[in-house]
Structure 1
Amino acid sequence: MSESDDDTNAAGPSTPKKKRIVRGDLVVKEKHRQQKYRADWEKEPKFSKWLTNDPQDDFKARCKVCNTSMIAEKHVLSKHSEGQKHLKNLTSIRAAKPVTSFFPSSSTSQENNTIKLAKIAEVKMAAYFAEHNIAFNSADHLGKLLKECFPDSKILKETNITRKKTAKIIYKGVGPGHKAELAEKLKTPKFSIMTDESTDISTSKASCVVVRFFNDISGRIESKFWNLHEIFSDDDPSAVNEGATAENIYKKLKKSIMDYGIPLKNVVGFGSDGCNVMMGSANSVASRFKEDCPGIIIMKCICHSAHLCASAACQKLPNRCEQLARNIFSFIHNSSKRSAALKQFQEFLDLKPQKMLHPSQTRWLSLQQVVARVLSNWDALKLYFTDMALSERSLSGQSILELLWDPYIKLYYEFLTWVLPKFTIFNKYFQSAEVVVTELDAKVKEMYKDFLFCFMDRGHVNQTDLSKINPEDKTKHLNDELLYLGISVATKINTPEIKADSYRRKEFLSRCKDFLVESTLQIKKRWDFGNEALICISLLSPKNALSQRMRERTPSILPIASNFPRVIDLQDLQTLQVLDDQWRMLPLAEIDEDLKEEKRPDVFWAKLSKWSDISESQPFKEISRFALDCLVLPHANADCERVFSKVNLTKTRIRNKLATQSIDALLLTCDAVKESKSKNCTDFAPSDDMLRRIVAKDDVPNIEELANIEVILPS
């Protein structure tokens, strides 16, 4: 470059640079000035996602997406942003979540934790309403009240405790969620079905279904409520015309099982009361089960049967005995004045003030309680009705007083006080939720023989097969004077007051004998003394299973297995052999002493299935599973009766518009609550499935992730 040129450039041309280039004024090309990186470029939308500075060179920019450096000039950056490689990399980055997203910030985690705690609080409150039969309308006030009382609670601020929300939690969340969990438990093990029907306060006829199975979690055989449905529903008009037929009941029962994918092959037993619709031989629910489930074991409710035996036997006694109890109750219970007057006479005789009870034809244990209550207050009642006869001159009171002064009526009550507990004790024993089916055959035979010994020759009873004894065979009857009618009757039957009327004394002995005969006839009518299944199932009690003496009678498992074809395939000889070997070895095994002392059959077999010998093997796992599958047979229908008792407590006069489906969800919710550690709503923990059912996706974002959050309880 010349000195003159340098001077010219220093002074600066007056014309633009481009024109000078065209005219050829610039002989030598000017040097390009470098541009430093400007941080303001990162604020522009097209650069903000990827542009950053190059820490090693102030005159260069860097692309975070492509991991490359370039000259820090805007036209270069623009050209790079439009390149195919850059656009492809940018799209991939946008689709992928950053690593930090998998580690939520403390504020986000705490917020999600608060939301889930709020949802759990809503579920707990709904469970409280269900467990304690509280109307949902009160939820509207309760939610607002809690927020007013605890304004600083972050959890309460997130709750929405209202009538509609409470109903949604129970009807769409906890109830269906618990049923789905129960359905999963029934898809593998064997189980039995129990059913009954009843009419509630609003005249809605409903059918209840209870299932009985071995629960691997609790290690017990349990009865669980399954379903409550209307027999005459709006969606099935034909059922109204047909009535509560066996076809309608069975169709809805079967549908409730099949809808949840539970195979009918798992059903091994069916239990209900003895009415023709349920247990008839030709056209009943039981007959349909036999068609669909060959080999199923049908069990009539033994508690119903015992109650019917007692009711039929009581018909042999004078009607005045029952009428006395009814008239006393009717005379007193509607009048507070008369009740207070009776209380004064009870206190005068140092008796505990007690109300008179009403004889019920449907309640199993009411008759014995009524008789005992009248007899314990006999003297107080005599004084009371004597006073009533003098003061009120009531004809009904006078007729009651005459019966109270009749020594034979009181003697009948003494007899009933002794004989009725035989039925009620038996009834209470089999109302138990424990596994007592192993004792059923022995207990029935024991009660049958107990009655026979009261009026028949003891030697004849002991030497004759029970199924062949004829209770009406008078040649085997004891003389009336030798009848056993209880200690109280024995001490009073020969008093001068009773002996004074020999005709009535003879009638009394005859009627008491008729009571005993009718009791045995009813037992024989309702019980099959040759039921092989129940005889065999008694061998599965812990005492018999471990007994060497019982092995002499039943050395092989085959007679037991042949009565339970739905529990084990009789064609599977290999499995049968495994069971037989374990059955024969069981009395010889050196099992733990605490296991030998276990008397509960289901607990015994559950523990035995997990018991290990020295080699750490489980030698009795298969036989234990077989025994538990057999022991799920229903011995009574008391569980269904308990369900209807809950229905009556839930659907009251105030809540008489509750639909059957709503009650079904409430009962399921109560069962779910009972499975908590304390068996109440205080520590009830809803499952993730329940939370998913309760919370809609538009209520809380990312609810699928919310259900999986580990709750951090506040300290």
Structure 2
Amino acid sequence: MKNLIGIGTDNASSMTGVNNGVHSLLKTETGNENLVLVRCLCHSLQLAITHASEKSLPRNIEFLIRETYNWFSHSSNRQLFYKELYKTINCGKEPLKITQVCSTRWLSIEPAVRRVIDQWLELKSHFEIVKQKENCYMAEMLYSMYNDPVNHLYLLYLLPILDEVQRVNKNFESNDRDPTKLLNDLVELVESVARRIILPIAQIDVLTATNLESYLDPSPYMGYGFELKLTEYELLPEAERNLRHRCKQFTLKLIQEMRSRLPTNITILRTMSMLSVQETLKAIKPPIIKLAQEFGCQANEIERIVVQWRNIRHTDWENKCSTVEFWSEVYGYKDSADNNPFSELASLAISILSLPHSNAEIERVFSQMNIVKTKLRNRMSLHTLNSILHIRYGLKRSGKCCHSYNVPENVLKQIRGIKESLVMPMTIAIEDGPSTSQAQAHDEADIDDLQILFDLY
């Protein structure tokens, strides 16, 4: 606990609460007032988009996306009819599947909106035919929405913003990311979204400015697709003003939501970029004192870290492409006396780079657990489940597959010994007489669990 420098959580108040949240209790328990709290940024971006949409955009936009998916999801006949219509309009080309917007799938919003926009004409034609053919109220309602150009323009404005959010979200979910650039990517996202509606001449910091409304552009550029379609639809002036106003309000609300979910010490965390390979090996680079102080280094440690930070560029390092591999090399470096002259600096860097910016990997573990322990395998013990997950992730880390992995002979001998020790007592019990039903069930469950491990090999 004393070595704890930060925690990554979701946005639940039980974790992030100021008074009785886990983060506050850990700060008190460890005595570390600089304990870093990193909210899962993938989850935060999802919530920011959802809340901004609910409070700024018409409710029928979300209804349109959701019910379009529901219309096709439960009927193969509707899917087939739409497929034939799409192929007729597009010279035999088949349509892409309409995707679902799911609150637990962080990357589901942008693909769903993109599919609807790309197939807008075909979907509009489909519901126009179906509302007359089936006399269905839902089809009539969906057709009226697709026939309304304002709905199309709302989605055209949303799409490029969602695309930017999607790109950053994927960066945080990736396993091959550079940790020193993640927070800069997030800050650049907030600034990029803000520049859509802020006056170009405004010289403000969008992360800290409290009066963004004072710098709003009265007639901002809403994007190429939006402006192009707007000239085609020729809306009434009042409808156009209302449309632009609500789009601006959505963007402003999105900025506020994203800013409220940034780490509280975002300024110091942005300096993590100095730990990248390129910045570390520069001759002229920013001092590392503030970063060391933020993460609780003592005065004597900071003195050594400053010297090591200055001298690290004079050593010839092999790994200069990957930040993680570079600092791993620094951490394991030995001089002629078999000592590491950069031990304090390397320990600080690795501690900072290990901060959890996303819960994506934890969510993947939950998904793997649901795949392994299904309803048909509900008798699997916790020990067996844990072992299988260890095997899966061990193979993944080593870049191997269970079909190509050669199990060491000593491991096979241990497994055979365990199997024999389980089978023999049950055989003796059968010869001596019937055992109790509870003992039989326990033995059978253990053998079933062990057989699962055999099946993996």
Contact 1:430 1:436 in 2 (8 A): no
Whether 1:312 aligns to 2:51 is yes
CA 1:387–1:677: 2 relative to 1, 3 Å: closer
Deviation readout 1:542-591 (Å, 9 max, x if unpaired): 1221233423xx1xx432221122xx4x15x2x4433221111234x162
Q: Pick from 453, 456, 466: which aligns with 2:198?
A: 456
Deviation at 1:381, TM superposition (A): 1.3
CA 1:643–1:610: 2 relative to 1, 3 Å: closer
CA 1:472–1:560: 2 relative to 1, 3 Å: closer
Whether 1:591 aligns to 2:316 is yes
Aligned-pair RMSD on alpha carbons?
2.9
The answer for the alignment partner of 2:137 in structure 1 is 395
Whether 1:409 aligns to 2:134 is no
CA 1:361–1:617: 2 relative to 1, 3 Å: closer
Deviation readout 1:185-233 (Å, 9 max, x if unpaired): xxxxxxxxxxxxxxxxxxxxxxxxxxxxxxxxxxxxxxxxxxxxxxxxx
- Partner Cα separation in structure 2 for residue 268 and residue 409 of structure 1: 47
The answer for the alignment partner of 2:446 in structure 1 is none
The answer for the alignment partner of 2:83 in structure 1 is 343
Query: What SS does structure 2 have at the residue aligned with 1:470?
Result: coil
Contact 1:305 1:526 in 2 (8 A): yes
The answer for the alignment partner of 1:645 in structure 2 is 367
CA 1:484–1:697: 2 relative to 1, 3 Å: closer
The answer for the alignment partner of 1:494 in structure 2 is 231
Whether 1:426 aligns to 2:168 is yes
Query: What SS does structure 1 have at the residue aligned with 2:358?
Result: coil
Deviation readout 1:481-525 (Å, 9 max, x if unpaired): x31322101212233x233x2222111101110110001111221
- Partner Cα separation in structure 2 for residue 532 and residue 325 of structure 1: 38
CA 1:446–1:677: 2 relative to 1, 3 Å: closer
Deviation readout 1:152-185 (Å, 9 max, x if unpaired): xxxxxxxxxxxxxxxxxxxxxxxxxxxxxxxxxx
Bigger CA radius of gyration? 1
CA 1:682–1:301: 2 relative to 1, 3 Å: same
The answer for the alignment partner of 1:284 in structure 2 is 21
Deviation at 1:622, TM superposition (A): 4.3
- Partner Cα separation in structure 1 for residue 304 and residue 51 of structure 2: 48
Contact 1:544 1:550 in 2 (8 A): yes
The answer for the alignment partner of 1:682 in structure 2 is 404
CA 1:354–1:441: 2 relative to 1, 3 Å: closer
Deviation at 1:608, TM superposition (A): 3.5
Query: What SS does structure 1 have at the residue aligned with 2:2?
Result: helix
Deviation at 1:265, TM superposition (A): 3.4
Greater CA deviation, 383-392 or 666-675?
Answer: 666-675
- Partner Cα separation in structure 1 for residue 87 and residue 14 of structure 2: 50
The answer for the alignment partner of 1:298 in structure 2 is 37
CA 1:698–1:314: 2 relative to 1, 3 Å: closer
CA 1:528–1:442: 2 relative to 1, 3 Å: same
The answer for the alignment partner of 1:485 in structure 2 is 222
- Partner Cα separation in structure 2 for residue 345 and residue 697 of structure 1: 60
Q: Which amino acid aligns with 2:234?
A: I
Whether 1:559 aligns to 2:299 is no
The answer for the alignment partner of 2:387 in structure 1 is 665
Q: Which amino acid aligns with 1:334?
A: H
The answer for the alignment partner of 1:527 in structure 2 is 262
The answer for the alignment partner of 2:426 in structure 1 is none
The answer for the alignment partner of 2:444 in structure 1 is none
Contact 1:325 1:374 in 2 (8 A): yes
**Unaligned ranges ≥5, structure 2:** 423-457
Contact 1:467 1:530 in 2 (8 A): no
- Partner Cα separation in structure 2 for residue 511 and residue 399 of structure 1: 23
Q: Which amino acid aligns with 1:341?
A: F
Q: Which amino acid aligns with 2:308?
A: Q
Q: Which amino acid aligns with 1:288?
A: L
Query: What SS does structure 2 have at the residue aligned with 1:469?
Result: coil
CA 1:407–1:271: 2 relative to 1, 3 Å: same
Query: What SS does structure 1 have at the residue aligned with 2:186?
Result: helix
Q: Which amino acid aligns with 1:591?
A: D
Deviation readout 1:47-71 (Å, 9 max, x if unpaired): xxxxxxxxxxxxxxxxxxxxxxxxx
Relative contact order higher in (CA < 8 Å, ≥ 6 apart): 1
Query: What SS does structure 2 have at the residue aligned with 1:517?
Result: helix
Query: What SS does structure 2 have at the residue aligned with 1:298?
Result: strand
Contact 1:437 1:634 in 2 (8 A): no
Contact 1:385 1:397 in 2 (8 A): yes
Q: Pick from 77, 102, 109: which aligns with 1:360?
A: 102
CA 1:661–1:595: 2 relative to 1, 3 Å: closer
- Partner Cα separation in structure 2 for residue 631 and residue 690 of structure 1: 38
Q: Which amino acid aligns with 2:295?
A: F
Which has a greater percent of helix? 2
The answer for the alignment partner of 1:334 in structure 2 is 74
CA 1:459–1:441: 2 relative to 1, 3 Å: farther
Query: What SS does structure 2 have at the residue aligned with 1:683?
Result: coil
The answer for the alignment partner of 1:509 in structure 2 is 244
Query: What SS does structure 2 have at the residue aligned with 1:455?
Result: coil
- Partner Cα separation in structure 2 for residue 287 and residue 685 of structure 1: 46
Query: What SS does structure 2 have at the residue aligned with 1:271?
Result: strand
The answer for the alignment partner of 1:33 in structure 2 is none
Deviation readout 1:293-325 (Å, 9 max, x if unpaired): 333322111111111111112221111111112
The answer for the alignment partner of 2:354 in structure 1 is 632
Contact 2:40 2:359 in 1 (8 A): yes
The answer for the alignment partner of 1:265 in structure 2 is 2
Deviation at 1:370, TM superposition (A): 0.8
The answer for the alignment partner of 2:327 in structure 1 is 605
Which has a greater percent of strand? 1
CA 1:680–1:267: 2 relative to 1, 3 Å: farther
Deviation readout 1:577-628 (Å, 9 max, x if unpaired): 33221111234x1625x644x1x22111123345678999865454223322
Contact 1:271 1:300 in 2 (8 A): yes
Q: Which amino acid aligns with 1:523?
A: M
Identity of counterpart residues, as a percentage? 25
CA 1:660–1:281: 2 relative to 1, 3 Å: farther
- Partner Cα separation in structure 2 for residue 347 and residue 294 of structure 1: 66
Whether 1:548 aligns to 2:283 is yes
CA 1:623–1:679: 2 relative to 1, 3 Å: farther
Q: Which amino acid aligns with 2:50?
A: S
Contact 1:329 1:356 in 2 (8 A): yes
Q: Which amino acid aligns with 1:442?
A: N
- Partner Cα separation in structure 2 for residue 310 and residue 637 of structure 1: 18
Name the count of aligned residue pairs.
Answer: 417
Q: Which amino acid aligns with 1:498?
A: E
- Partner Cα separation in structure 1 for residue 81 and residue 200 of structure 2: 50
